[in-house]
Amino acid sequence: MLYMPYKRKKYHHGDTHLKKQWRTKRRKRDLDEINEDMKVENAQKLLNQEVDLDKPGFAQFYCIHCARYFIDDHALKDHFKTKVHKRRLKALELEPYTIEESERAAGKGSFEPAKKRKIETQPIDELEKNVALRGIPLNVKSLKRMWDFQEGVRANRNQLEDKRFELAKAIKDLMSRGTDDVEVEKLKILAQKVKREIKVVTSSLWDLENKVMPKLLSLPNVLHTRTPLKTEKILHTYLDIPQGKQALSHVDIGNSLGILKVIGPLCYFLKNEGVKFELGLVQYLANYLRSKGFVQFSNPDFVKSLVVEGCGFDHEDPMMSFILKRDNSDDVDENNPNRLHLTGGASITPFCSYFAKHVLKDPLPVKLFASGRSYSPSALQINGSLVKSCQASAVQLFVALSNCPNVEDTMFDDLLADLINAYENLGYHFKVSYVPPSKMSSWECLRASFQMYSLFSQSYVEVGNLSMCSDFVSKRLLMYYQNPDKRVDFMRFVTGTVLSVPKVLACVLEDPINLHDGKLMLPLPAERKKRESVDLKRKRTKR
């Protein structure tokens, strides 16, 4: 007998007895709850959940809009194409009903129609996720569409060019045979038409490129697997957090000690011990890095927009780098976009300029450092302080590496260990942590941040950092190196501000342990020993 499947008697989903309907056992999240989930901070939490062995796919593949877990990436992507999911997106378009709306309906206030929103499926693409995590206001999907359109136009133009080439060839053939003037004339008219068309298409292609390329250049670097998605991941801490409260900020303390004078947001002066602290700290780091085989550089402070953009910064943003007046640049031309910027020698840009459009012939790794100034308007605020100063004495390191991710990883770890050692010698409390993408620059794929504690603001302040760049910048600025077998390839590099003096000074001033007899104790090892012995004495006398 032929197998007959069971024929359902009830045709509608949910057509069951009320008892079952009202059970909370299998209750899914309601639409207003999902609306709450869609808010960025919640969405981020839901999309990056901890591993939970009891949930499908260990809670790693979640659809926010349907509030469902899937077993793997494939299943999740398939789900996005289903009718259930699309129906759910449609249902979410309408703003949820609120108490305020009910009050309005009851005559309190006047009627406001519920708003409709456009709901899009959560980003599945790596790039989209990256852009979202970093908080860059960029719509990857529309950018992709623009890119596809541009490439379509380009293909169109190439076709036309081919056609013109064929026509030219045909005309030449006919001419050489010397026959049929009418045929040649026909072809010529056709060729002219094609030529005109090419002109139009090419100009529109240029327009498109002008629009699309800057956006493409603002796409960020890929994220390293070690980069934490949500919160900082602490790698190392040294000594305990300074305890207690500080009623005065470093500006007041420094002023009363006569070593610091902050004037407005742009200017500050260091005097006496303050200068010794600055010069001594920079020199200590220079000596330390030299002993680790680093080569010293003195870099120019100016850099052109070309390099600023190449390093993944917005070169037109006045808060990214100081932009100089046009008549100071070599080119007075009003429309020349290549302007002069002030970034300081102790920053990433001059190192990139050094290698840009050049091939490095030395065996890698090449380890460099520069001590000098670093200028950044982004931290500028009306109440001047050292933490947000826009001029800093700093030490920047730059290590050029071969194009191999493993080499980059091990070098990063080695450098991190070296820097931690250098910081420990100073004898201050600090912590090192990987920061989440939202706090990274677009050229970084991993950033380890060195932070010291400010007692006045009761928070950590980043005083130094080490970042991995992969080949993001070198591809843009054509920074090459030569293999032993004479092949050329893009270099990778690890760079970082080893230490920014004013920020360290700010944290040091706010901790009373560093002040002795109304004087700032210098952090040099010999001085530290003295301080420790003083502390011991103090402890003894207390007993």
Partner 1 sequence: MPASVRSWFPHPWREWRILDVWCFPSVIFKVFNANDANGQVTSKWREYELIVYVRSVFVAKSSSIAPDKIYDKSVLKPFPGFERKLHELDLNYLCNKNNIAEIEENVKRRKLNGDIKLIHELFARIQSAENGGEKDLLIEQLSEEALKIPNKLKPGLGDEPELMRYVGEKKTFSFSPKTFENLTKINGILRTEKLGHLTGRRSYFLCGALSQLEEAIVNFTVNHLYERGFQLVSVPDILPASVIEGCGMTTRGERNQVYRLDNQLYKTGTEWGDEICLSGTSEMALAALLAHESCSNGPIPSGELPLRICAVSRCYRAEVSSVATERGLYRVHEFTKVEMFGACPPDESAQLANELVSIEEEILTALGLHARVLQMGAADLGPQAYYKVDIEAWMPGRATSGSKEKEEEFGWGEVSSCSDCTDFQSRRLGIHYADRNGNRHLLHTVNGTAAAIPRLLIAILETHQREDKTIEIPNALRPFMNGCDTISPSQKVIDIKPLPVSLRSRS
Tell me how many residues contact partner 1 (CB under 8 A). Answer: 90
If you write DSSP's letter for every residue of 410-464 in order, what string do you get?
A: HHHHHHHHHHHHHHHHHT--EEEEEPPGGGS-TT-SEEEEEEEEETTTTEEEEEE
Binding segment for partner 1 (CB under 8 A), chosen from 69-77, 164-172, 175-183, 386-394, is 386-394
Distance from C-alpha of 223 to C-alpha of 446, rounded to nearest angstrom: 7
Q: Pick from 241, 319, 404, 536 the residue near partner 1 by CB under 8 A.
A: 319
Query: With contact defined as beta carbons under 8 Å apart, do 81 and 90 qualify?
Result: no
- Considering only residues 168 to 207 of the shown chain, the ones binding partner 1 according to CB under 8 A are none
Smallest gap, in angstroms, from Cβ of residue 376 to partner 1? 11
Binding segment for partner 1 (CB under 8 A), chosen from 66-74, 173-181, 359-367, 526-534, is 359-367
DSSP state of 52: -
Binding segment for partner 1 (CB under 8 A), chosen from 15-23, 276-284, 413-421, 424-432, is 276-284
Q: In this structure, what are the phi and psi dihedrals at residue 158, rounded to the nearest 5 degrees?
A: -60, -40
270 or 461, CB closer to partner 1? 270
Q: Pick from 84, 105, 114, 295 the residue near partner 1 by CB under 8 A.
A: 295
Burial of 203 (0-12, 13-18, 19+ CB in 10 A): exposed
Smallest gap, in angstroms, from Cβ of residue 104 to partner 1? 19
Establish if 219 lies at the interface with partner 1 (CB under 8 A): no
Q: Pick from 102, 381, 483, 533 the residue near partner 1 by CB under 8 A.
A: 381
**Residue closest to 426 by CA, chosen among 538, 295, 294, 280:** 280
Establish if 144 lies at the interface with partner 1 (CB under 8 A): no
Distance from C-alpha of 361 to C-alpha of 463, rounded to nearest angstrom: 34
**Residue closest to 273 by CA, chosen among 256, 289, 287, 248:** 256
Q: Which residues contact 81 (CB under 8 A, 6 or more apart)?
A: none
512 or 525, CB closer to partner 1? 525
- Considering only residues 28 to 57 of the shown chain, the ones binding partner 1 according to CB under 8 A are 38-41, 43
Establish if 268 lies at the interface with partner 1 (CB under 8 A): yes
| Sole residue written with tokens 């980003």 | 123
Smallest gap, in angstroms, from Cβ of residue 460 to partner 1? 18
Establish if 393 lies at the interface with partner 1 (CB under 8 A): yes
Smallest gap, in angstroms, from Cβ of residue 53 to partner 1? 28
Smallest gap, in angstroms, from Cβ of residue 121 to partner 1? 10
Distance from C-alpha of 409 to C-alpha of 34, rounded to nearest angstrom: 40
- Considering only residues 118 to 137 of the shown chain, the ones binding partner 1 according to CB under 8 A are 118-120, 132, 135, 137
Q: Pick from 76, 191, 390, 463 the residue near partner 1 by CB under 8 A.
A: 390
187 or 302, CB closer to partner 1? 302
Q: Pick from 90, 358, 537, 538 the residue near partner 1 by CB under 8 A.
A: 358
Residue 65 Cα distances to 61, 134, 142, 320, 543, angstroms:
12, 22, 22, 37, 65
Q: Please state the length of the chain.
A: 543
